[in-house]
Structure 1
C-alpha cells in the first residue's frame, strides 16, 4: 500500500499530457492501454486525483494506492478487510463475511464518498451506499483512494473523497492465474483467469483479460442480543450466517492507430447472504458494471476521451425462503473530456451525464433522475510550485443546480520536502430513499454541502518517506430524521436540520529496517455534531477518534513472512452517544513459500489473539481464523 510523498523531479504538466496517451484520462484504468509500451510502470501512475495521468509523487491531494502486489502479499478475506487501516478510512461491518460494510472517509458519512469501478459510478441509488462486501478481491487489480472533497471533478457525493477500484489487467503477452484455498468457518475460495497483450510498438495492438472467482463460507453468528431492542425476540437467531459469491470479469481493448484506441470492461458478482432480522433474513444480490471507452490522441498536446457505462445494484430479500421484497437500481452514465497542453500547463474540460433509475416492489413517487455536469481544471507548475484549480456546475432534475470548486497548491521548498495546502467545496445529493420512500421521504430536501481546508507536509528521503495532513471539514444541511409532525408525515420525516464539524490529522510513514519493509499510519479525528440542538457536540456515530495500522514484511529467499496490527479506539453507535462500542486491536500473521517459479502457498492467521470486538454495536467480528491458499501465476 503506497501513500503519496514528494515528487523529486520537476515534471511539467505537458509531460503528464503525454503520459495520458498511455493511461486513460477520464475515469480511466491504471492499466492504461496494455497495447502500449510494456516497459511503462503503470503502478507509479494515478488517474483518480485529477482525472488525468500523473505520477503518484506528483499528486497534490492525499492519495493512497493499493496494488495487486499488496493484495497478493496480504491475501485479505474481503474488500472491507483490504480497506481496513487505510489512513482516514474507517470500516463499519454488520457482522462477518458478506455482511453489509460501510466506509467513513475522513469522518464524513458512509454515503459521502464516490465509488468508481473502472471509471463507472457504482452503488445503490436508493440507499446511497456501496456493497463493498460483494466485490471479491480476486477481481481487483488496484485501488486508488483520494481523501478530501472532489466534487469539483466528480460531482455529487464526493464530500469525503473518491474510492476507485480497477479490475484485473494483463502484465505480459500471456498470463494464467489459478488460486485455491480453504480455511475455518467452512470457507473455500477458488479463482482462475487468463490475460494477455500484444506489442503495440508498431502503433497498434490489443489486450484481453478474463477472470472468474467463487467463494463460500459458513460464516459466524453475526448478531448478538441487544437487550434494549423490542424486536430481538423476532430477529435473534443464534446460528451461523453464511455467505457465497460468484463473479466474472471481462476486459478487452485495441489500438487501431497511434491516435485511436478503444476498450470495454464488464464485472458481474452474484451473492447470497444469510443474516438475522425481523423483516428478512436472507438476500440474493447482484452487482454488475459495464464500461467502454474511445480515446483520440491526435498530438502530444491533445487527448479526447469518450466514456459510457452502466452499473446495477439488485437485492432480492426473503424470510426463511419466502419472498419479501426487491430493490433494483440502475445508473447509466457518459463522459466527454478533452485535455489540452497549453504551454507548461494542462487544461481539462469535460461534460458528464448520468441517469439513475429505481425499481422493485417498493413504489417511489419519482423513479428516475438525470444529472448533467460541466467541469474545467487547470494544472501547472511554476518552478518549485504546483497549482491545481477546478470548477464544476451540476444540474439535477430533482433538486436543481450546485456549483463546487477546489484549489490545491504545492511547494517543493527543498529536494526532500513538499508543503501542500488546499480548499474545496462539495455536496451530497439526497437519495431516492431520502426523497421518496413511502411514508418516510421528503421531496423538499436540499443537497448537503461542505467546505474543507487542508495543510500537508511530505518528505522523501533515502531511508523512505512520510507525510502529515491536517484537515477540517464543515458540513451544512445534513439530512437527519426530524420527529416534528407534518400534515403528511404525522411521525416526522428527514430534513436538512443537522450540521457537522470535523477536524483530523493523518500521519503515514514507510521505510526499510534490517531488511523488513515497514508501513505505518495513524489517524486522529474529532467528528462532532454541530447542529446546536439535540446531540450538539456529540461524536458522529461509528467514527473512532483514533485508528491506525502497521504492516511489516520480509522475504527470505523463497519464503516470505509478514504481519499486520490494526487498531481503533472507542466509538459510539448512535447520535446521542448512549451506545458505546469499545476500541480494539487485532494482529494478523502471514507466511508464504514459493516452491516453484510459478507456484506458491500461503498461510494467513487473522486475529491471532482471538480478540472479541465489534465495529458496529451488537454485530461481532470473526475471532481467530486461518486460511491456506495455493496460487499459480505463470506464462
Structure 2
C-alpha cells in the first residue's frame, strides 16, 4: 500500500470512529493538572482526558490500569493479569517518561523510575486526569510523555455510607466500604477496600535464554492480594484560609514466576500522605503551600524465603502563587522541592538526592486568541541545572471550533538503578531530553463533539546499553502520532470512541535504527456504547491494538488483538444495584509482553450500595 493509500485508509477509519464516539467529557469538565490551576477542558491548551468516579463505576473498572485502558495515545504492557507489573507508554514515550501524582504528590519508585499502577486501590479513587504531551515546564523531570494525576475520594454534604461486595473468575473477591460527609466549613471521606484473586499462570517462560518472559517454568496460579485505605478531609478556617489533608495506602502480596535470583513473590506497601494550605491573600492573589511523602516498599521472597528488599521514599513540597492580572489573564509563580531516598538490602553508592526548582506560567486571552507560556529551572544534586519551557496558542474560529498549536521541551532524570546499582550503574549519565510539537483542532457540531491532535516528539540522549551492557546516553527516538476523539448520543445510546496511530521509531546510530520501539502498538482504538433502559444500565466496549515487538531488534513479534466486553447494572431498589461484567467475551489469547499471558474470558459480579442525593 502506498503512503497516500495508508493515509486514506487512516482517514476512513478516523471518520468511522468519530461517527461512533460519545461524550466522555462535557464542556464543563474541569482539570487541574494541565496548568496546575483549575481550568475547563474546553479552555485548556493541552490534550486532556478526565475519568471521573461515575465513569469508573459505569465501566466497572477493577483496577487503575483498566480505568485508563483506551485513553487516547496511552498503551500498556502487563506481566500477567490483575496486580502484575504494569508499564504505561504515553504517546509512545518510555514507561518512565510519565509523571504520576496522587493528590498533587509525586509518587513512584526512585530505583525503577516508574509508578506501580497495579497497586493503587481503584475503590479509593475519585477521578483521574491524563495530560498528554510534555509538562516539564511545570513539573520538572519525568513529564516527557505527559502527566497522570490520581485524586482520592473527596467528601462533603450529608453523612453518606457506601458499600460494595464483588466476586468473579479466578476466585476473585473485591470488597469496599466508606463514609463521607461534611458541613458548612468541614468535609471528610474515609474508605477501605480489599481485593484478592487466585489468578492464573502469568508466564510461559522457559528456564534458559532466549526463552524470554520470566526465564523459568512455573505452571501455577499466580495470586494477588491488596488491602487499601484512604482518608481525605478539609476545613475552612476562615473566609480566606482553608486546610486539607489526605492519605492513601495499598498493601498486600503478589505472586509471580521467578527464580532464586529474582524471587517469586513480593510483599508490598504503596502509600502517600500530604497536606495543603490555601490562602486568598488578596482579591487577586491566591497562595498555596503543600507537602507530602510517598513510599514504594517491597520485600521479595523465593518459595517463602526472604530474598531482597527495595524501599524508596520521596518527600516533596510546593509553594504556588496565582495572580489574577485581569479577567482574562493569569500569572502563576512557584517553587518545588523534592528529596528521593533509597534503602534496602542493595547498597547504592549514593542513596539520596534532592531537587529544587522555580517555575512560572502566564495564561492570557486576547479576543479569539489564547496563549500560554511556561518556564522552569531545576537544580538537581546529581545532574545539575536544567531549564525547560513551553508555549501554546489557540484560536477560536467560532464558539464551537478551535485550533491550537504547542511546543514544549522536557527531560528525564536517570534513576538510582541507572546511576548507582552495583556493577551496573553509570554515575556519569546525563538527563534524557525531548522536544515536542503538537497541532490540534476541536469542534462541536449538532450532537457530535470531536477533536483531532497530531504531534511529534524527538528524544535525545536516551539511555541505552553499550557492548558491556552498561547504561549510556547513546539512543535517540522520533515519535509521531495522531489522536482522534469524538462523542455523540444516538437513539438513546451514549457512544464514545477514539483512534490513535503511532510511529515510534528508533533513531539510534546502530543496527536497530529505523525499528519500531518495543511494546508500542502503531494502532489503538476503543469504542464504547452505554444506555439506560428503565431500571437497567447496559454497556459494551470494543478495544483493539495492532501488532507490536517485544525487542529493539524487532525479531520477537506480539500479535494484534481485539477484545469485547459486556456490562450491565440493575437497580434493585433505591441506592442498591446489581452489576455484572463479562470481559474478553471472545476469549482472545494475547500478550502485551512476550510470554506473559493476559486473562481470557472472565466475569465479575458486584452488589453495590451507593446513596445519591443525600
Normalised by the length of structure 2, the TM-score is 0.94
Return the offset for 1:77: 2.0
Return the offset for 1:233: 9.9
Q: 8 Å contact 1:191–1:212 — kept in the other structure?
A: yes
Question: 1:222 & 1:58 partners in 2: Cα distance?
Answer: 44
Question: 1:608 & 1:248 partners in 2: Cα distance?
Answer: 32
**Equivalent of 1:198, from 183, 198, 204?**
183
The Cα offsets for residues 434-456 of structure 1, whole Å up to 9 and x where unpaired, read as 00000000000000000000000
Counterpart of 1:38 in structure 2 is none
Return the offset for 1:599: 0.3
**Equivalent of 1:328, from 311, 319, 322?**
311
Structure 2 residue 454 is the aligned partner of structure 1 residue 470: yes
SS at 1:540 equivalent? coil
Q: 8 Å contact 1:68–1:141 — kept in the other structure?
A: yes
Q: 8 Å contact 1:3–1:63 — kept in the other structure?
A: no
Q: 8 Å contact 1:103–1:110 — kept in the other structure?
A: yes
**Equivalent of 2:142, from 157, 165, 169?**
157
Q: 8 Å contact 1:603–1:627 — kept in the other structure?
A: yes
**Equivalent of 1:423, from 383, 400, 407?**
407
Aligned pairs for 1:266-305 within 5 A: 266-278=247-259, 279-305=262-288
Structure 2 residue 120 is the aligned partner of structure 1 residue 135: yes
Question: 1:220 & 1:46 partners in 2: Cα distance?
Answer: 38
Counterpart of 2:16 in structure 1 is none
Return the offset for 1:172: 2.4
Question: 1:234 & 1:471 partners in 2: Cα distance?
Answer: 38
Superposed CA RMSD: 1.4
Return the offset for 1:44: 2.4
Q: 8 Å contact 1:463–1:511 — kept in the other structure?
A: yes
The Cα offsets for residues 128-159 of structure 1, whole Å up to 9 and x where unpaired, read as 01100001211110000000000000000100
Unaligned residue ranges in structure 1 (runs of 5+): 8-42, 200-204, 484-490
Structure 2 residue 240 is the aligned partner of structure 1 residue 259: yes
The Cα offsets for residues 337-390 of structure 1, whole Å up to 9 and x where unpaired, read as 000011231000000000000000000000000001100000000011111110
Q: 8 Å contact 1:174–1:195 — kept in the other structure?
A: yes
Q: 8 Å contact 2:83–2:224 — kept in the other structure?
A: yes
Q: 8 Å contact 2:458–2:477 — kept in the other structure?
A: yes
SS at 1:99 equivalent? coil
Q: 8 Å contact 2:214–2:257 — kept in the other structure?
A: no
Q: 8 Å contact 1:363–1:438 — kept in the other structure?
A: yes
Question: 1:230 & 1:606 partners in 2: Cα distance?
Answer: 30
Structure 2 residue 194 is the aligned partner of structure 1 residue 210: no
**Equivalent of 2:302, from 314, 319, 334?**
319
Question: 1:129 & 1:350 partners in 2: Cα distance?
Answer: 25
Q: 8 Å contact 1:66–1:143 — kept in the other structure?
A: yes
Return the offset for 1:55: 1.1
Question: 2:52 & 2:324 partners in 1: Cα distance?
Answer: 29
SS at 2:443 equivalent? strand
The Cα offsets for residues 234-276 of structure 1, whole Å up to 9 and x where unpaired, read as 7210011000000100111100111000010001100200000
The Cα offsets for residues 581-615 of structure 1, whole Å up to 9 and x where unpaired, read as 00000000001101112100101000001010111
Q: 8 Å contact 1:2–1:66 — kept in the other structure?
A: no
Counterpart of 2:595 in structure 1 is 618
**Equivalent of 2:544, from 567, 574, 582?**
567
Return the offset for 1:300: 3.4
Q: 8 Å contact 1:112–1:159 — kept in the other structure?
A: yes
SS at 1:70 equivalent? helix
**Equivalent of 1:522, from 488, 496, 499?**
499
Return the offset for 1:216: 0.8
**Equivalent of 2:561, from 564, 578, 584?**
584
**Equivalent of 1:55, from 40, 47, 53?**
40
**Equivalent of 2:486, from 509, 521, 525?**
509
Return the offset for 1:301: 1.1
Question: 2:191 & 2:567 partners in 1: Cα distance?
Answer: 25
SS at 1:152 equivalent? helix
Structure 2 residue 604 is the aligned partner of structure 1 residue 627: yes
Q: 8 Å contact 1:222–1:275 — kept in the other structure?
A: yes
Number of residue pairs matched by the alignment: 587
Q: 8 Å contact 2:156–2:183 — kept in the other structure?
A: no
SS at 1:173 equivalent? coil
Counterpart of 2:345 in structure 1 is 361
SS at 1:153 equivalent? helix
Q: 8 Å contact 1:376–1:392 — kept in the other structure?
A: yes
Q: 8 Å contact 1:2–1:64 — kept in the other structure?
A: no
Q: 8 Å contact 2:154–2:233 — kept in the other structure?
A: no
Counterpart of 1:18 in structure 2 is none
Aligned pairs for 1:50-129 within 5 A: 50-129=35-114
Q: 8 Å contact 2:194–2:227 — kept in the other structure?
A: yes
Counterpart of 2:355 in structure 1 is 371
Q: 8 Å contact 1:2–1:65 — kept in the other structure?
A: no
**Equivalent of 1:595, from 569, 572, 591?**
572
Q: 8 Å contact 1:4–1:59 — kept in the other structure?
A: no
SS at 1:72 equivalent? helix
Question: 1:298 & 1:375 partners in 2: Cα distance?
Answer: 20
Counterpart of 1:386 in structure 2 is 370
Counterpart of 1:225 in structure 2 is 205
Q: 8 Å contact 1:3–1:508 — kept in the other structure?
A: no
Question: 1:558 & 1:469 partners in 2: Cα distance?
Answer: 38
Question: 2:23 & 2:493 partners in 1: Cα distance?
Answer: 16
Q: 8 Å contact 1:206–1:252 — kept in the other structure?
A: yes
Q: 1:170 to 1:444 in 2, by over 3 A?
A: same
Question: 1:480 & 1:355 partners in 2: Cα distance?
Answer: 26
The Cα offsets for residues 429-483 of structure 1, whole Å up to 9 and x where unpaired, read as 0000000000000000000000000000000233030000000000000001111
Question: 2:331 & 2:100 partners in 1: Cα distance?
Answer: 25
Q: 8 Å contact 1:113–1:161 — kept in the other structure?
A: yes
Q: 8 Å contact 1:4–1:63 — kept in the other structure?
A: no
